Amino acid sequence: MKIILLVLLFITPVQAGKWSRSILILIGANAVDIHSSIGKRELNPLAQGPNGKFDLKRGILLKSASVGTILLIEHLYQRKNPKRKKFTRKVNYAISAGIGVVAVRNYTIRK
């Protein structure tokens, strides 16, 4: 997990545009959230396993689907007007911050 975050921090500023960086940060925040949930009780019934704990396969599927949906909506929104990228970039940062707060909270919970 630490390697993924380091790669995101060093590659994004150099090789990607601003909107692309926000996508990578969104993906990274979701990866950290998944990592912080492993082995803990899950409140979301879509990500719960049979024992009520976080199910890794379901969690990855749920997070991937949600990020994919966000990116599809953003693409459709900014397709005809590229100036909208600034707004969608800010949306990505806001969502990432919210997910980051949840991940930090998850790390404080004992298994």
pLDDT at 57 over 60: yes
Residue range 34-51, pLDDT digits in tens: 999 999 998 889 999 999
Residue 18: the pLDDT is 84
pLDDT at 83 over 60: yes
pLDDT at 17 over 90: no
Q: Which residues pair with 53 in a beta bridge?
A: 41
Mean pLDDT to the nearest integer, 10-15? 51
pLDDT at 55 over 60: yes
**How high is the mean pLDDT of the chain?**
85
Find, among 9, 35, 52, the residue nearest to 103 by Cα. Answer: 35
- Determine contact, residues 5/32, Cβ cutoff 8 Å: yes
Q: How confident is the model at residue 10 (pLDDT cuts 50, 70, 90)?
A: low
Find, among 52, 61, 58, 54, the residue nearest to 37 by Cα. Answer: 54
